[in-house]
Structure formats: structure tokens, C-alpha cells
Chains A and B, each alone.
Chain A
Amino acid sequence: MTAALLVTGAGGVGKTTVSAALGVTAARSGKRTLVLTVDPARRLASALGVGDELGSEPQPHSEEPNLWAAMLDSSLSWRSVATKHADPEVAGRLVNNEFFLAASEHFPASQSYAAADQAATFVEAGAWDLVVIDTPPSAGGIDFFTAPAQMADLVGGRLLRWLTGGPLPGRFLYRRAGRPMLRIADSILGNDLLERVAEFLLDLRTTYDGVADRGRQIEALMGRATILVVTTADPAPITEAARFYRELPEVGGTPAAVIFNRTLPDDWIGFEPPGNVDRELAENLARWGAESLRQSDARAEFAAVNRAEVATIPWMPEPPTDLDGLALLIERAGSLPSGLLEPT
């Protein structure tokens, strides 16, 4: 059975790099591993051996036979909601609808749903021992669990009921019913905007059964995944990581560990340099030591407050540019949970 490792965390903490590093390490230990990434930096993409041409189809790495990489493309797959779950005529109307793209851009859950759908497809394929899933920055990871239900709710017509005034509306019903609020809204907006939105939502509604079924499959699959939360020791991502620790259990997942990326060495804290050391260098150590102390305090506090297993990945000033560099991050990691990369 394919194991899934879901890497969550705020944007900008190095989630994508950590995902890639874990993937490389698993591949080198003999597991057939797929790394699903979101918008990797150019140097990271080239480290994964995919350069600029990373697409949504898994590509094998030229130097590491057990490693594949692919990109989760959230724009592409909302389209697939239409083509998979609506009949061809409706699907054709949907993908050409002026509101369709807007809805896919504006409803954050739809992007997470699309990404989770693709990720689930690769896990179900059974072609890999491990699928490492890097999550989109907007969602941060929690949306992978909540998006399927929210998506079903969206296409299922909660909004549509408002526009049409009935649970099983016919087209244009709201106009005939003459709902006064909608007439006011229409008069403010100056044209038949709401009606056009209602038409779109009616088409979208035909995808409900398909989206709801698929949503339950995705939820079951994400429920089996091992979850990691990545953060740095900065206050904003820590706040976000703490939120994941609070909220993930409510939606069906419990983090296995929090990984503090960009960690400085502990032995810099309070180190007294010998008297003959250059003054500028001694002062430099003192300020980095203060920074290391701040990080260490932040980790201890996080572990205590959230009852979290804390792991660390060292701060590498230059991002890894090849497989060895990525693997080195995990070799130098502190306290990673044992068996993290083992199939469950």
C-alpha cells in the first residue's frame, strides 16, 4: 500500500524544500517515491532533476531511479471537476463560462480540492511506496481535509438556494418568484448579473454527486496520511503552526511532528569565546547566539503548549541545488520521528 506524507505549514517556511528532501531520502533508502510539489523555486526544481519542465505528470529523476516528481496544478484541475463530473454538454458550457474561472480563483477550497484530488489519484495509483505531498501556500494544509466537504457544499447549491429561493430550482425561478431582495440587487448592479450567476451555479450543481463521492474518497485517504507541520522560529509561522495543531485533529488528522526549519546550532548559545578572538567575530557569534537562543526558546514553548514532537532542520544559507544537498538536510536533521518514511 502506498503511504502518504502530507507536509503542511505557512508559506515561506521551506515546506517545498523539506518535502523534496524527505522524498530524496526515502528514494535513496530504496522506496519508490513521488514528490508532489507546488511552485518550486528554480534551483529546487533543478535539484529534483526537473528543471523548468515540471508538469502535472510524474517525471522520473535522471540520476535517482526511485524518485519521481510532479507539480500540483490547481488551475488545471478545476476544469477537471467539470469534465469528470458533468455531462459533456454542461461541461462545455461550464469551462467557457465567465464565472467559472473567477470561481476557481476565488473559492480557496476549490484549489485545495483540486490539489487534493490529484494527490489522491497518485496515492491510489499504487505505483509508488511513498507519495510526499507539499501543500499549496494559500491553504497551508488544513484545507486538504476541509476542502472536499466545502466543495460539495458549493456545487451542491447552498448559494444557489439563496439565489433561486428553493431547494430544487428551475432555471430563472427566482425571477418569476419575484424575490424583492434580488430585484433590488439587480437594480443596484444595473443588469442581470445575479441571473447569470444563477445559471452558472445551476450547471455546476449537476456535478454534485460526483464531487461529493470523490470528496469522501479524498477525505478517507487524507485521514490515513502522516502529517508534518513545517515552520521557522519566527512568530507568524509559529502562530500558523499552532493553529494546525489545534485544528487538524478536528478535521481528521493529527500531526506526527513539527519541523523547525532554519535552525541554528545550540552550541552557539552563550558560548564564551577565548580572549584572543577577534572582536568583530566574537560580537558576530554573540548576536547569532542570541538568535539561536530565541529559536530554542520558541521550540521549547511550542512543544510544551502544543504537546508536539519537535524536529529540526539546520539553516543552510545556500539552498540545496542537487540531490546530495537535499539529502544532507535530512542527515543533519534533529529528532525526526523514526519510521517517518516507512510505509504505514
Chain B
Amino acid sequence: MGTWFSRSLSKLRTEAVLDKRLLLVSGKGGVGKSAVSAALAQLATRQGKRVLLIDMGESAGLTAHLGISELEFTPREVRTDLFAMRMVRSDALIEYLTLQLSLRGLKTLGPLARAFDALATAAPAVREIISIGKVLWEVRERHWDLVVADAPPTGQIGSYLRAPLSIAELVPTGRIQRQAAWMGSTLSNRDLTALVLVNLAEELPTTETAQTLEWLEQNDLVGPPTIVTNRLVDELVTAPSGTGPVRDAAIHHQAVYSEQQRWLGRLPPDITLPYLFGLLTPSEVAARLSDEFEERL
């Protein structure tokens, strides 16, 4: 079986990743999305950029990779020039209502926020636009050289990317409609925004990444994504021999290697990252991946 996608592996796509203003990092659950987000943000910081890292999900992944206990909606500096925050939809909404709609000073903001929250349960794209809108607002405000979002998993990323368009369809006129148009154009601007899809060379992640690529191609909401395939083992030159654990570990390694090669062939990545053996803490993992990226970008 050949590759599922004939993707042109443009050098530009990998080299320019850190020159964007916004990186949205997605992938199937469990592929190392948060580790890659933290690694990219740390690398950008090392290159002298002022970076905001946003945890858009509810997992504890990002905090662990940063070696901190928790994140709040207000960005805080976790390393020199590396700021991090967690998306809290209700906070993002209130900030939106006060800053962007100039409803500052309105005593009854709470009920309005709750009405919007009700809307977010039933109406398409409202909750997504609140989250992605906050991310894009941070890009627009230019406090940062780079915004890295540990974005929702591939199963949901489509509805976030499509949210501006969905909102424009739902609300055909007015301020919200105009803002949705601006958000959509920021996402689709290839100089500003890049989508990074983290993948594993295994059946389910590769299938899901391939489906995501297909969806992205059909919908054309964001430039071609950069595919990062994580946790790859290298080939053993020596054939397994001997007895006991030496032989067993060699056979295991070769089996992992050939299974990975099978899926790697189906979906060639732009960047590969190695399997990190025996590393104990998530922050060690993020630091090591950051070094690996530096060699490759």
C-alpha cells in the first residue's frame, strides 16, 4: 500500500514554523501534544522570542511539562520570556464582553455572561469562538512574538477552525459577524498561523491524522499543517542474537521499529522526534524534545 497522501515536503513548512505568530498544536489524545507545545514554546524563547503558551484544554498535561502546579487565565511568566495561561471560557467571555464590546461598567454582566453560556450549550460554534477568539486576540494585540496554543485534539480541532465561519452563518450581521470575519482571515493567513499536527506511527493516530488532513484539504481554513511524528525508534543494525533479555529486547525493538515504519510510510512527517527511553518527568521530556526540535528546525 502506498502513502495515503502525496504531500509535498516543503522545506519552508518546517523552517518557518517558529517565524509565525500563532502555532496551533493538535493531535489525537495521548500522542504528546502538550509536550510538543511546551517544547516549541521553549525553543522559541531560547531563540530570543517573547512567547505566550496557552493551554486550551482541560488536561493537566501542559502544567506537568512546564514543571509547574497550575495555570490560570491570567498569563504568568513561567520562565524568562515564556508566559503561560489556561483557557477558562467564562473568563474569556467576560473579558470579551468588557474589552471588545465595551460593556465595561455594566453592573449586570453576570446575567449576560450566563445567557451567552446558555447559548454556548445549544448553538453551534459559540463555545469554540470564545476560546479561539481569545487566542487570536492575543495574537492581534502583539504583546508576544509568538503564541503557541496547546489546542484541542484532532477530533475537535475542525470545529474550532471552522468556528468563525459557523458564527458568520449563524449571525449574518453585526459586530460579532465582523469579528468572526477577522478571526477567519487570521487563521487562514499562512504568514501568521501554522497548524502543527502531532502524530504517532501507530494505526489509530495515523488514521485520525490522515482523516484530519483530508478534512483540512476540503475546508481550506488554515495553511498546510506541519506533521510532527513523535516517539520513533531507530533501526537496530545488528540482528537479534543470544538468549534471554538481550535477545528479547532486540526482538521487541525490531518489532516496534517495523510496525512504526509501516505507518510512517503511510503518512510521511515533516519532522520526526525520537522515543525518549526511561525519562522520568514530563518536564525532562519537554526539555529534551525542545533540543531535538532545535536540531531539526
Residues of chain A at the chain B interface (Cβ within 8 Å): 10-13, 41-43, 98-99, 101-103, 105-107, 137-138, 154, 159-160, 162-163, 180-182, 184-185, 187-191, 193-194, 197, 200-201, 232, 234-237, 239-240, 264-265, 267-268, 271, 273-274, 277-278, 280-282, 284-285, 287-291, 293-294, 297, 315, 317-319
Contacts and interface: CB of A to CB of B under 8 A. Distances in A.
Contacts of B101: 188
Given A239-B64, A268-B245, A12 B115 contact: no
Contact of A293 (B116, B117, B155, B278): B278
Interface in B196-238: 203-205, 207, 236-238
Interface string B111-130: 11011111111111101000
Contacts of A317: 252, 255-256, 259
Contact of A237 (B30, B236, B279): B30
Interface stretch (B12-20, B80-88, B166-174, B181-189): B166-174
A198 to B, nearest CB: 9
B29 A197 contact: no
B111 A284 contact: no
Nearest to A97: B122
A135 B122 CA distance: 24
A193 B280 contact: no
15 contacts: A103-B121, A106-B120, A137-B29, A160-B118, A188-B174, A193-B119, A193-B123, A193-B170, A236-B34, A236-B61, A237-B30, A284-B250, A285-B245, A318-B255, A318-B259
Contact of B118 (A159, A188, A264): A159
Contacts of B121: 103, 106-107, 154, 159
B48 interface: no
B176 interface: yes
B21 interface: no
B31 interface: yes
Given A154-B121, A235-B282, A317-B259, A194 B237 contact: no
Interface in B5-55: 28-31, 34
Contacts of A271: 244-246
B248 interface: yes
Contacts of B241: 278, 281
Given A41-B203, A273-B246, A99 B115 contact: no
Given A282-B246, A287-B278, A294-B278, A163 B118 contact: yes
Nearest to B103: A184
Interface residues of B, number: 67
Contacts of A159: 117-118, 121-122
Interface of B: 28-31, 34, 59-61, 64, 101, 103, 108, 111-112, 114-125, 127, 153, 155, 159, 170-177, 203-205, 207, 236-238, 240-242, 244-250, 252-253, 255-256, 259, 277-282, 285
A190 B171 contact: yes
Contacts of A290: 277-278
A288 B277 contact: yes
Given A267-B245, A281-B238, A319-B203, A11 B252 contact: no
Contacts of B122: 99, 102-103, 106, 159, 197, 200-201
A289 B248 CA distance: 11
A227 to B, nearest CB: 20
Given A41-B204, A194-B119, A99 B112 contact: no
B64 A236 contact: yes
B56 to A, nearest CB: 15
A268 B248 contact: yes
B278 A285 contact: no
Give the residue among B29, B103, B250 with the most A Cβ atoms within 10 A: B29
A101 B125 CA distance: 12
Contact of B171 (A193, A237, A297, A318): A193
A1 to B, nearest CB: 34
A97 B31 CA distance: 36
Nearest to A102: B124
Nearest to B281: A235
Contact of B127 (A106, A163, A197, A232): A106
The 5 closest A-B pairs by CB, nearest first: A12-B30, A290-B278, A190-B174, A11-B29, A317-B255
B24 to A, nearest CB: 19
A163 B277 contact: no
Contact of A185 (B64, B115, B282): B115
A101 to B, nearest CB: 8
B23 to A, nearest CB: 20
Contacts of A288: 249, 252-253, 277
A319 to B, nearest CB: 7
Nearest to A40: B204
B123 A190 contact: no
B38 to A, nearest CB: 12
A160 B114 CA distance: 11
